[in-house]
Structure 1
């Protein structure tokens, strides 16, 4: 009996320094509608989201369509890169992916963020065996979770993600069996 986790990277958002309340952009709302269309035929049993507004907005339409409550899980929030905005994002993100134990001041290392995200994923797998579960989250934490189960998912994979993006991860108990991309967004 397989458990399918549909990991959804949130749709495009309007940048604000307030991570928690950053909303989707106009294009992001269009992307969220596509997420709804792609997932409404997948017989979804449960819907989880990061507490961040953009993640919740990405799957609100789906939750309404299938009449399911969105369960908020704090451990699905994006990794904290640093306490304050970094001067050069590319340099900062590259450094944390080069060394799993490195963290910027006030930020999370890959290892710490991965541990947080995987704790939540393992709880979902335990609680919802044999079910189809949508998890709306963020690029870095999503790839760190996938990397825990298969090391081929890393920094290069993260750089190729779209906003939004969807990966169906099929598990036998807690063993990842297959990953299938069901979203290819080349227009946003």
Structure 2
């Protein structure tokens, strides 16, 4: 049995610099709550998106468990467009309602899901019977979950909090259980 703890990063204020956007003050407070949530859990390894806000969200877990944070580029948030979109909410709704649609320079849901699932499969093969923390982003996390069950969709994504934590249990690479472990 492999347990994957998907951690959606804590709150950060929007800037155009995706890689270096730090947590907000509220995000730092919530990061400490995330650390406490994992204090008494056995964690074998930690992976993260290379984005600063994702790394910062699990830094306390890494320190508490004396683990390194392994960054993986394919865990970064989906690229929505290579330009600025006038209506972010409408754009997100469109890519979720049309899984193969992509804005110019962006990724469709299917493309983003494929890169994330490929990474998850490698992690599952590398860490059988381990407890693994993966710090990532809302779209990527839900797209991975949707790969296994269709109820994880746009409506589910809209209800996520920042941060959020879901425990996915795999038996022989088959998803057997999903539980939300974050308490707001």
Q: Which bracket does the TM-score occupy, shorter chain normalised?
A: over 0.9
Map residues 1-188 of structure 1 onto 2, 5 A cutoff. Answer: 2-185=1-184
Give how far 1:146 is off.
Answer: 0.5
CA contact under 8 A between 1:3 and 1:170: conserved in structure 2?
A: yes
Q: Tell me how far 1:39 sits from its aligned partner.
A: 1.1
**Shift, 1:172, TM fit:** 0.6
Shift of 1:150: 1.1
Aligned length: 184
C-alpha displacement of 1:149 = 1.1
Structure 2: any 5+ residue segments left out of the alignment?
none
- TM-score, structure 1 length as denominator? 0.97
Distance 2:69 2:109 in 1: 27
TM-score when normalising by structure 2: 0.99
Cα offset, 1:184, TM superposition: 2.5
Distance (whole Å) between structure 2 residues aligned to residue 40 and residue 73 of structure 1: 24
- 1:6 Cα deviation from its structure 2 partner: 0.1
CA contact (8 A) 1:162 1:184 kept: no
d(CA) in 2 for partners of 1:78 and 1:48? Answer: 14
User: Which structure 1 residue ranges, 5 or more long, are not aligned?
Assistant: none
Deviation at 1:14, TM superposition (A): 1.8
Structure 2 Cα separation of the partners of residues 5 and 68 of structure 1: 16
CA distance in 2, matches of 1:15, 1:100: 25
Does the CA-based 8 Å contact 1:96-1:103 persist in structure 2? yes
Q: Secondary structure at the match of 2:42?
A: coil
Aligned partners of 2:95 and 2:135: how far apart in 1?
23
